[in-house]
Amino acid sequence: MKKKVLITGCAGFIGSKLAEKLLEIKKFKIYGIDNLNDYYDKKLKKKRLSNLDYKSNFKFYKLDLNNKKLLSKNFKRNKYDYVINLAAQAGVRYSITNPRKYFDSNLSGYFNILEECRLNKVKFLFFASSSSVYGDQKKMPLKETMNTDTPKSFYAATKKSNEIMSYSYSKIYKMNIVGLRFFTVYGPYGRPDMTPFSFVKNFYKKLPIKIFSFGKHKRDFTYIDDAVITVVDLFTTLIGKKHKSFYEVYNIAKGKSEKLSDYIKYLEYELKSKFKKIYIKEQLGDVKNTFADTNKIRKIIKYKSKVNLKSGVSKFVSWYKKYYNN
Ligand SMILES: NC(=O)c1ccc[n+]([C@@H]2O[C@H](COP(=O)([O-])OP(=O)(O)OC[C@H]3O[C@@H](n4cnc5c(N)ncnc54)[C@H](O)[C@@H]3O)[C@@H](O)[C@H]2O)c1
């Protein structure tokens, strides 16, 4: 019998790609939950869902993590073996003006997931954390053992809280839980609120792009397929072993820090034109640099991110042009 895997946030950027990759393995029946909220273009979420094979091994439920009653029913009926929680209110900057949305989905909603996993004896829970939990650190690269007590945004605070909530559930109820600290994931079907999407969109609208921190930021840009294959590898490795009670967090990243200015150059090369640029000071909530140490995950899995920034940007621009007929 195929093992049952629930992916929450499965209409999202990472969730939809993860569902696609897990379906390819053909060992799992994949269930997806998403509330299809309007944080960004719903059409893109629906298109991502339509790319998944509805007929075989995939079942979708439009459901909010905060609908406790329906969520409980759903867990009872489907008896999931594994849960991967990616549903969340994402975005650092939006959390400055809309903190309650983050409280509702990321804290209250995630608590419901923890409870259902506990009550239904789910064998393994994976959840999305974020590189933002590191805040601004003096030392690079960022290691999982570093102190993460000073988040710069409420978004980061909710992700750090998810880690602490999960740790306590794992210890108290002997559950197996893993936190995935994603680093700036980009690529086809990406999030419109993030670059490169927002930059390319402005380019075609002939609008300037805003470059924060005067372009001095550095980021560990992680191509979507690399991020997802890393998670699939980690997932299949860990569920294949016996654990009494397991709790760990892992950086999910390329493991390379690149200048925002280089990233913009690659985009301009692909677009065969220069952006109109507005340089702006650092934004409240933004961290200065990210650069992941990936040694911890390498001790368990073999996969190493393959796609470099130049070719990742090229793949994104090709997808964007085709998808939006530019
Ligand atoms: N993309 C990145 O670079 C990145 C970096 C760090 C962490 N993360 C985290 O990874 C996860 C996935 O990110 P993404 O980029 O795919 O974001 P996304 O916004 O594309 O996907 C999240 C999905 O969750 C759904 N959702 C939100 N609140 C919900 C709720 N209360 N109930 C049900 N569904 C809900 C949304 O409709 C959306 O489809 C998120 O938890 C995010 O915080 C992403």
Q: What pLDDT sits at residue 132? A: 97
Residue pLDDT, tens place only, 264-323: 999 999 999 999 999 999 888 989 999 999 999 999 999 989 999 999 999 999 999 999
Q: What pLDDT sits at residue 55? A: 67
The closest alpha carbon to 14, from 105, 116, 129, 98, belongs to 129
Classify domain 3-189+220-256+290-306 by CATH architecture.
3-Layer(aba) Sandwich (3.40)
Q: Could you tell me if the CB of 49 is within 6 A of ligand 1?
A: no
Q: Could you tell me if the CB of 86 is within 6 A of ligand 1?
A: yes
Q: What's the gap in Å between 35 CA and the centre of ligand 1?
A: 11
Helices (H), 79-153: 94-97, 99-102, 110-119
d(CA 283, CA 216): 12
Positions in the chain whose pLDDT score sits under 70: 54-55
Q: What pLDDT sits at residue 54? A: 66
For 78-95, give the DSSP string: H--SEEEE--S---STHH
The residue whose CA is least distant from atom 37 of ligand 1 is: 36
**161, 103 contact by CB (below 8 A):** no
Q: What pLDDT sits at residue 41? A: 97
d(CA 177, CA 167): 8
What are the structural domain ranges in the chain? 3-189+220-256+290-306
Report whether the peptide linkage leading into residue 141 is cis, meaning its omega lies within 30 degrees of zero.
Answer: yes
pTM of this prediction exceeds 0.75? yes
**317, 275 contact by CB (below 8 A):** no
Instruction: Please report, for the chain, how many H helices and E strands are present, in that order.
Output: 12, 13
- The verdict on whether 110 is a catalytic residue reads no
